[in-house]
Amino acid sequence: MSIEAILKPILAKLSNVNKHQRSFLTELFAVLLGRQGRATFENLARYSRFTELTFRRQFASYFDWLAFNKACIDFTQGSFIGLVDCSFLPKSGTKTFGLDKFWSSCAGKAQRGLEVSVLACVNTLTKECFALEASQTPPDITQQPGQAYSRLSWYLEQLADCLSRLPVLLYWVADGYYAKKEVFQLFASQRRHLITRLRHDAALYHLWIKGRQPGQRGPTRRYDGKASFDDLSRWQDEGVHPIHSHIRLFSALLYSKHFERTLRVVLLLDSRHQKYVLLASTDQQQLAQQIAQYYHLRFQIELLFRDAKQFTGLHQCQARSDAKLDYHLNATLSAVNIGRLLLAADASLQKSMNALVRRQTNQRIWTRIYHQLSQEGLVDVNRLDRVDWQFWQRRAA
């Protein structure tokens, strides 16, 4: 199946996309998946029927990427959960919007560059992850929670804008950075559930369930002692991890004074090294096995970042303005979505993004060479680096 066949029903669902935008998006995804070299404007124009100026103008325009990516996903094929995470992008120069020091997991320290906050979803049956929306973190905002506006405030704005448009995603998974009271309050206000990781020394308390005792004076007790992570006699044994047999699960319904809410807490005990990890869900009735499985699926967003950086040029944008950077970040992540739809439609590629990109590149280059040949089978090598406008106009028609 071709990219045009994949995009035609998707773009048909978007009523506010005109004919020129449809033509440009079809060409853009084909070039992102079928080019060689970096994803700069100049290099994209080499493999496209559009000029570099056209790419610059289109990247400066607005496009509803969340609506586009929602149209790419068939939410009826299994259950989906939402994911949220950030990725560090190295960037040189001094004039690019968003340059600041951000945490780099690969380096293990804060480095100067860009950061993109991504909302995604993953199919719990097939484990396929699709990007939904990406926003670049602005510079010069502190991470201190006591300040009026922080990076956490920016992440909350992105979530608040998108959660109302994603009613099908009831459960959301995030890493330990998002285990904050403001994040829990946002998901509770949107009637969604958050699964995240807690500190290993989190202050959690067992609930008092015995009611008032005879002769008791004062208010009814709320807590029945602080939860211990060394003595698991008060925890419920939930069996082994659904994926890792050497990890055993223990669960309890505990109250967090810091988050001001009751959480379903799951303790994952590694029997090999006698170490534990604490997971928490705002759904008090959720099964411990499901909490562990959903948090395990959080790693799929890391594979989304990997494919976007290796194959579609997530970190190779040539632009410096915030509008063009936003367009580039969303376009490269959406190109991974299109690539995964192509992989699902063609079993011969064996779910390999590398095989898909190589095939798209070969087809694009050989089609270009074939249309440069004369009737005698000769080719003018001096014309290969120039655009054959008549060929591309016929192809577009």
For residue 321, being part of any structural domain is answered with no
Mean pLDDT of 367-392: 58
318-331 burial by CB neighbour count: b if 16+ within 10 A, else e? bbeeeebbbbbbbb
Q: Give per-residue pLDDT as tens, 166-192.
A: 999 999 999 999 999 999 999 999 999
C-alpha separations of 199 from 8, 54, 180, 293 in Å? 47, 49, 11, 19
For residue 279, being part of any structural domain is answered with yes
Rounded Cα distance between 309 and 48, Å, is 21
DSSP state of 371: T
- Which residue, chain included where needed, has tokens 């419920």? 236
pLDDT value of residue 55? 94
For residue 292, being part of any structural domain is answered with no
Nearest partner of 82 among 7, 202, 190, judged by Cα:
190
pLDDT value of residue 347? 80
Nearest partner of 83 among 161, 181, 163, judged by Cα:
163
For residue 313, being part of any structural domain is answered with no
- Which residue, chain included where needed, has tokens 């807690």? 198
For residue 154, being part of any structural domain is answered with no
Q: Give per-residue pLDDT as tens, 14-64.
A: 988 889 999 999 999 999 999 888 999 999 998 888 999 999 999 999 999
For residue 261, being part of any structural domain is answered with yes
pLDDT value of residue 394? 52
For residue 245, being part of any structural domain is answered with yes
The answer on pLDDT for 296 being more than 90 is yes
Mean pLDDT of 194-222: 85
**Structural domain range at position 280:** 204-212+220-284
Check residues 216 and 39 and name the one with the higher pLDDT.
39
For residue 109, being part of any structural domain is answered with no
Rounded Cα distance between 313 and 50, Å, is 19
Q: Minimum mean pLDDT among 68-82, 203-217, 318-332: which range?
A: 203-217
- Where in the chain does DSSP place strands (E)? 80-90, 100-104, 109-123, 129-136, 171-173, 193-198, 204-207, 223-226, 236-240, 247-256, 261-270, 275-281
Check residues 167 and 1 and name the one with the higher pLDDT.
167
Q: Are 345 and 1 in contact (CB under 8 A)?
A: yes
Q: What percent of the chain has pLDDT over 90?
A: 66
Instruction: Determine the residue type at 297.
Output: L
Count of domains observed in the chain: 1
pLDDT value of residue 375? 60
Q: Calculate helix-pair angle for 353-370, 300-311, nearest 10 degrees.
A: 20
pLDDT value of residue 385? 47
